[in-house]
Amino acid sequence: MAKKQLIHAVILSLTILGAFLFVQTDLKKYDLQISALLFVILYLTRKLIVTTSTSRLIESVIFTFIILIIVNSTGSLASPFFFLIYFLLFAISLLLEPMISVIVTLNLIIYFLLALPADQNIKSILPIFSLAFLTPFAMYLGKEYVDLQKAKLSNQKSQQDTYLFLSLVVKNHLKNIREAVDNFIGDQQLETIKKSLVRIEKLIEKFENNTPS
């Protein structure tokens, strides 16, 4: 796992631990106020922090903490808001690296199992295992999103190369042709025009051959 992914995994794991510990304290009475404060922080993050990676990490942490305290304070596995965790897994796979959704899922399964009362039946713990079945879809969606972003960046680079080629290479030869036409007095300028046209054709052919299809 890359260093960046490891850092994200550790931060999200600590966030999940903090959310489960939060509902065991007296602070859970102020869950709405704390959630509102976190949304304010999220708004300021989007306005003030320019780095996309840092902004996405903060968003992931805030969403994770808010959703988990809502779920845990309204019945845990029996909470009517448990479905929000499904959306959380998809959101994390898009905001961060797809592999992080696996780390988050493992943490959630462990903490939910540890928080279960001893007399629970199989039916009551089905939501926990549903997280494991949902994670591959979240990973796939995240991977597809990453590939799409890479393809988009590649297309942008290709367009930039094209503009650079047109502006720096072809433009210079067109300038020579224009000067030759403006000062045309005989065969010497005609020869200059022919040479410039041949260079442009060769440069365009070379550029097309080096440009990936």
Angle at 207 between CA 205 and CA 213, to 5 degrees: 100
The pLDDT of residue 18: 92
**Is there a contact between 31 and 70 (Cβ–Cβ < 8 Å)?**
yes
pLDDT per residue of the chain (213 residues) written in tens, 0 to 9: 578 888 999 999 999 999 999 988 888 888 888 888 988 888 888 777 667 778 888 889 999 999 999 998 888 888 889 989 998 988 888 888 888 888 999 999 998 888 887 777 777 778 888 888 888 877 777 777 777 777 776 666 666 666 666 666 666 666 666 666 556 555 665 666 666 666 766 666 666 566 555
CA proximity to 96, closest of 139, 133, 126, 135? 139
Tokens describing residue 51: 């780095």
Q: Which two three-digit tokens encode residue 153?
A: 């960046």
In this structure, the number of other CB atoms found within 10 A of the CB of residue 185 comes to 8
Beta strand ranges found along 60-190 (DSSP E): none
